Amino acid sequence: MTNLINLVGNVAGILGIATCAAAGLFRLAGHYELAGFGTGTLLLVGTALMVVACLSKLHLLASHAR
């Protein structure tokens, strides 16, 4: 179970960073939509993915402290 939570955290973090970076770059380039979604929405999705990654890593740290 620990390995699964660690994997979820890693994947969510990588996807979150990539999504935020893509949304930011497209917004700076003057494009306000990417794949039919607004860049603000994609930035929000990327932020949510990074929050999931942080929470999963925090769960691992808390479970090891017991």
Q: What is the pLDDT of residues 11-33, one digit of tens each?
A: 999 999 999 999 999 999 999 99
Q: Spell out the alpha helix ranges (H) of the chain.
A: 2-28, 39-65
Cα 27 to Cα 3: distance, rounded to the nearest angstrom: 36
Cα 41 to Cα 32: distance, rounded to the nearest angstrom: 10
**What is the pTM assigned to this prediction?**
0.88
pLDDT at residue number 34: 85
Closest residue by Cα to residue 37 from 28, 48, 45:
45
